[in-house]
């Protein structure tokens, strides 16, 4: 059984991770782990049609998750067929997916994370190394715990909430599979609802759930974060340590344009700046962004708003935020922030403080 599991969790050597390149929506870069339960539950009910199989070249019954990657466009196609299609019971799809997920479902990186000392270190390890269509950003919060932010790699408002729901359900399914009975989070927040009742999600997550938030995030409980990782037997421990060293040594700096802009906010203040940093023409940049349903102004607003909210929650002063985000002065930042999200920076900050206080 252990040797069979080891084969299942072997690293994907046939698909080396490209580096130092912008990540496009058609690059086959993302692992199937984050939707493995959706594919398996669909295959079990014969929903996964030959047409879908042919389109993304996946055979779900093989469960060959560690040797297959898909592009963002293919991932979107899967969600359109299996999640967003007509007459889909989204609650049933989501929780049937969750029922298929354990830490072994997430392959080599999940097993490698079992070498960490506690749950918090494991979360940070996974957030750093998983190849997913979102960035998982661990952030210390004011309650002395850890929040995990969901930041999309691509500008896609239609699918954003869907990815948030699957991301967070995956986190909980994996966490419960090796730490049952421990309250995992104090709260879970989404940017929007996916048509699933809040009470249903609260029953699953075991904590308050909030919609219409500025950033999607899990606020992990301190009790769960401090929980030691369950001990592995000697065979799996040796394999996990070897995998951890291999995973940590891989270069994973291939990025989407949205991620690239976020990483260079201090030097990119215009489309010309961004094109110059990417060594392409402004026309080429505009064409690539158009293919992703965005523009420089849309990406700039998305990235700067996300970063502004993060800094406000962290207690950074508005003059410092304005300077970091490239605004000419604090007044310009305040005006832009209010036009972006309908509230002033101070109102947003006080609202977050009240939210945190309500959880105590």
Q: Give residue-wise pLDDT tens across range 167-219.
A: 999 999 988 877 777 889 999 999 999 999 999 999 999 999 999 998 999 99
Higher pLDDT, 249 or 95: 95
d(CA 96, CA 165): 13
Q: What angle do CA 258, 83, 113 make, to 5 degrees?
A: 60
Half-sphere exposure of 172 (CA within 13 A, CB side): 30
Number of residues that make up the chain: 360
Average pLDDT over residues 267-289: 92
SS3 289: helix
Determine phi and psi for 138, rounding to 5 degrees. Answer: -70, 140
Name which of 152-166, 229-243, 254-268 the model is least confident about. Answer: 229-243
H-type helices in the chain, by residue range? 2-8, 36-44, 50-56, 72-82, 90-99, 107-113, 119-129, 157-178, 198-205, 222-225, 234-249, 257-263, 271-278, 282-291, 296-313, 318-324, 330-341, 345-359
> Is residue 313 very low, low, confident or very high in pLDDT (cuts 50, 70, 90)?
confident
Both tokens of 203, joined, read 């029953």
Q: Taking residues 272-300, report their average pLDDT.
A: 91
CA gap 283, 298 in Å, rounded: 16
Residues 6+ apart with CB under 8 A from 304: 265, 325, 326, 336
User: How sure is the predictor about 46, in pLDDT bands with cuts at 50, 70 and 90?
Assistant: low
Structural domains in the chain, sorted by start: 2-13+25-249 (no CATH), 255-359 (1.10.10.60)
Is the CB of residue 126 less than 8 Å from the CB of residue 113?
yes
Regarding predicted confidence, which is higher, 267 or 209?
Answer: 209
| Residue 207 pLDDT | 95
The average pLDDT across 334-338 equals 94
**pLDDT above 50 for 223:** yes
Tell me the pLDDT band of 350, cut-offs 50, 70 and 90: confident
């Amino acid at each position: 059984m252990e040797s069979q599991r080891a084969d299942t969790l072997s690293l994907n050597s046939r698909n080396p991770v490209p580096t130092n390149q912008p990540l496009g929506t058609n690059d086959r870069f993302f692992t199937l782990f984050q939707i493995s339960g959706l594919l398996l539950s669909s295959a079990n009910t014969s929903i996964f049609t030959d047409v879908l199989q042919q389109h993304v070249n996946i055979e779900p019954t093989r469960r060959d998750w560690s040797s297959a990657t898909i592009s963002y466009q293919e991932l979107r196609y899967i969600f359109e067929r299996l999640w967003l299609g007509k007459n889909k019971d989204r609650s049933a799809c989501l929780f049937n997916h969750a029922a298929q997920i354990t830490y072994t479902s997430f392959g080599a990186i999940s097993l490698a994370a079992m070498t960490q000392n506690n749950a918090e270190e494991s979360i940070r390890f996974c957030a750093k190394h998983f190849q997913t269509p979102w960035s998982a950003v661990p952030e210390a919060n004011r309650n002395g715990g850890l929040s995990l932010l969901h930041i999309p790699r691509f500008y896609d408002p239609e699918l954003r909430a869907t990815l948030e729901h699957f991301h967070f359900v995956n986190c909980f399914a994996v966490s419960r599979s090796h730490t049952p009975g421990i309250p995992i989070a104090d709260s879970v927040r989404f940017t929007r609802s996916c048509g699933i009742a809040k009470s249903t999600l609260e029953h699953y997550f075991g904590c308050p759930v909030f919609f219409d938030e500025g950033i999607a995030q899990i606020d992990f409980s301190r009790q769960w974060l401090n929980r030691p990782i369950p001990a592995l037997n000697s065979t799996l421990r040796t394999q996990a340590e070897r995998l951890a060293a291999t995973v940590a040594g891989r270069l994973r700096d291939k990025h989407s344009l949205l991620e690239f802009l976020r990483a260079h906010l201090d030097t990119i203040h215009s489309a010309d700046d961004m094109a110059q940093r990417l060594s392409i023409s402004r026309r080429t940049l505009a064409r690539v962004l158009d293919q992703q349903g965005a523009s420089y102004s849309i990406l700039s607003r998305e990235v700067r708003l996300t970063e502004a909210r993060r800094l406000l929650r962290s207690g950074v002063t508005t003059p410092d935020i304005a300077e970091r985000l490239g605004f000419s002065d604090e007044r310009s930042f305040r005006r832009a922030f209010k036009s972006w999200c309908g509230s002033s920076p101070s109102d947003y900050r006080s609202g977050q403080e009240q939210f945190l206080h309500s959880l105590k």
